[in-house]
Amino acid sequence: MGWFPCSGPPKHKSKDGSKDGSSNKIAARTFHFREMAAATRNFRSECLLGEGGFGRVYKGQLEGSSQIVAIKQLDRNGLQGNREFLVEVLMLSLLHHPNLVNLIGYCADGDQRLLVYEYMSMGSLADHLYDLEPGKKGLDWNTRMKIAAGAAKGLEFLHDKASPPVIYRDLKCSNILLGEDYHPKLSDFGLAKLGPVGDNTHVSTRVMGTYGYCAPEYAMTGQLTLKSDVYSFGVVLLEIISGRKAVDTSKKGGEHNLVLWDQPNLRPAMADVVTALTYLSVQNYDPDEEPNQSPSTRLGTPPRMKGDFDKSRNSNAGSEIEQTKRLY
């Protein structure tokens, strides 16, 4: 029999007051295990898309329908237990966005736990970044930026549009799935957590996530914030730009961790980012005014990079940049 708790989950609303879903009820469909077996031809190996610590993912076709789906069968002794299963069903039933994967339904038949998603035909971002098969071309730059922008939009929805906000907690390349024309969607919400509300700055929780993507302050303190996801997104950006894994033990000693390996390059670049942001913060730029003027005319002369900033624009800007340089 299908299973779900009797007490309803908190109703998620977007910050403009509208509900994300079309109704207050759980939208996901309940499946029986026999339907899952039929959809995957009894979980045949040729239907297997991939496997990991959570279990296996199969490609299937629902009975009486032409709909192709991805079915995740959780390992009963795996990393994703009942709690993570329930969290994923709740989150993806209540949160809907073009850059979040669609949950079609779930199966909780006896001790079987399965999740049914829309099928993403291009696999994951990780499939296109590293360990490419001979002859397979890597992603061009525009496609990489399109995927990064789409993932950022999904994250922005979770952080800024959902109320209360949602901390994803497991952003990584293998959880960014790609559909037609490389349209990206965030997937795997088993570790997602409701974010802080009111005057709270963080939520305290057991440290969970994937090594290499986990924000160091969260790993050390267990204090989870929206910025923990932003750190993970930064690691994903490094992977997109470099084509290297977040953690790669096949590399020599000092190059196992991508962030540590790239720190010498990040430090001078960070000063330039702060310079640009500080410059923009003191401009009175209104995109709706003076449409006939070029952006450079409206914004004035941009600052020189490498920390050579015109301090006459803002008496505090120079000291802030110098402080940031010391931090990085």
Residues placed in the known binding site for ATP: 72
DSSP state letters, 84-134? HHHHHHHHHHH---TTBPPEEEEEEETTEEEEEEE--TT-BGGGGTSSPPT
Distance CA 286, CA 280 (A): 12
Active site residue: 20, 109, 170, 188, which one? Answer: 170
Q: Are 107 and 88 in contact (CB under 8 A)?
A: no
The dihedral sign for the CA sequence 84, 90, 92, 93? positive
Whether the Cβ atoms of residue 170 and residue 209 lie closer than 8 Å to each other = yes
Best CA proximity match to 203, nearest among 219, 225, 221, 218: 225
Contact (CB, 8 A) for 44 and 36: no
Amino acid at residue number 84: E
Task: Record the tokens describing residue 232, joined without a space.
Answer: 């993970």
Binding-site residues, in ranges, read: 72
Strand-pairing partners, residue 194, are 166
**Residue 16 annotated as catalytic:** no
- Evaluated on CA atoms 316, 317, 319, 324, the torsion sign reads positive
* Cβ-contact 102, 186 below 8 angstroms: no
Sign of the torsion formed by the C-alpha atoms of 250, 252, 258 and 259? positive
Question: Could you tell me which of 44, 35, 23, 90 has the C-alpha nearest to residue 63?
Answer: 35
Catalytic residues: 170
